[in-house]
Amino acid sequence: MSQDLSEAVKEATREVHSQAENSEFMKNFQKGQVTREGFKLLMASLYHVYAALEEEIEHNKQNLVYAPLYFPEELHRRAALEQDMAFWYGPRWQEVIPYTQATGHYVRRLREVGRLEPELLVAHAYTRYLGDLSGGQVLKKIAQKALDLPGSGEGVAFFTFPNVVSATKFKQLYRSRMNSLEMTPEVRQRVIEEVKASFLLNIQLFEELQELLTRNTKDQSPTKAPGLHRQEGSRAQDSTPTETPGGKLPLNILSQVPLVQWVLTLSFLVATVAVGLYAM
């Protein structure tokens, strides 16, 4: 195979990268139109995603399909996201952070890959970590300005990589490690497809967050929506996240409320008429 994996992947994801950049949530973000509400939702989703990704990485760190890409000190985000969760959601963040349906889909795929197809972990790590070291650095500055955050980095620890001196050099190293992975043409093709799939999981996440934000601007605060308050992320819990209240309630219960009100009103009217008739 003549082309390096890193080049092949970059080429294959040009279109989907542009799709991610141009999703409404990201477009608004780049224009500085990011609210605390939206940022908190995004960070909570990323917390669940990285908790799952890094747990699967730990399980596979000695597997040669991933080992050359194991850079916990430089890259891993879970500890930083825990700091951000405490900053945004308070000391009891584990009990209150939202867990949305699209987050659940992403987490479920990460679990499947980690357990059943670890040779595809490279795809997910590439999409997130190299993205964080690229566009993520722009987003950090925008968020700090738009949300009036302290320059010390509180609330945006996720975007800060204290152990990466030069993002450009680190990305070069990372790409060369990707290129050193030994894989058959068949696996290589699956890796490329999985990178595209991982971009789509991110896009679906942004679309869902945007929908929740739009709905709740008309409606109510998303952090007050029933079902959004639910901690997730443990290995045991997230095997079927979409079947949990955390995954489904925000959209379902909200749409059922008017129906319940209608049924109650109608029952009340019928009862009133019946009493009236009886009295006559």
Interacting residue with ligand HEM among 19, 28, 30, 94 (CB under 6 A): 30
Identify which range of 19-27, 82-90, 145-153, 264-272 contacts ligand HEM by CB under 6 A.
19-27
CA distance 144 to 159: 11
> Looking at beta carbons only, is 71 or 93 nearer to ligand HEM?
71
Q: Give buried/exposed letters for 209-241 (b at 16+ CB in 10 A, else e).
A: bbbbbebbeeeeebbebebbbbbbbeeeebeeb
Asked if 24 touches ligand HEM (CB under 6 A), the answer is no
Lay out the site mask for ligand HEM across 167-206 (x = CB under 6 A, - = otherwise): ----x---------------------------x--x----
CA distance 139 to 7: 24
| Phi and psi torsions of 2, nearest 5° | -80, -40
Taking the complex as a whole, the smallest distance from the CB of residue 164 to ligand HEM amounts, in Å, to: 13
Taking the complex as a whole, the smallest distance from the CB of residue 209 to ligand HEM amounts, in Å, to: 12
Identify which range of 22-30, 96-104, 110-118, 258-266 contacts ligand HEM by CB under 6 A.
22-30
Q: How many residues bind ligand HEM (CB under 6 A)?
A: 19
- 239 and 248 in contact (C-beta within 8 Å)? no
**Residue 252 CA: distances (Å) to CA of 202, 206, 217, 227:** 22, 19, 17, 9
CA distance 45 to 47: 5
Taking the complex as a whole, the smallest distance from the CB of residue 165 to ligand HEM amounts, in Å, to: 15
Asked if 209 touches ligand HEM (CB under 6 A), the answer is no
CA distance 132 to 134: 5
Written as six digits, the tokens of 162 are 């204290």
> Looking at beta carbons only, is 97 or 205 nearer to ligand HEM?
205
Helix (H) or strand (E) holding 43: helix 36-59
Q: Which of residues 87-146 bind ligand HEM (CB under 6 A)?
A: 126-127, 130-131, 134-135, 138-139
> Residue 106 — left, alpha, or beta (φ > 0 → left; ψ -120 to 50 → alpha)?
alpha
**Amino acid in the structure at residue 154:** E
Identify which range of 13-21, 80-88, 156-164, 257-265 contacts ligand HEM by CB under 6 A.
13-21
* Site residues, ligand HEM (CB under 6 A): 6, 10, 17, 20-21, 26, 29-30, 126-127, 130-131, 134-135, 138-139, 171, 199, 202
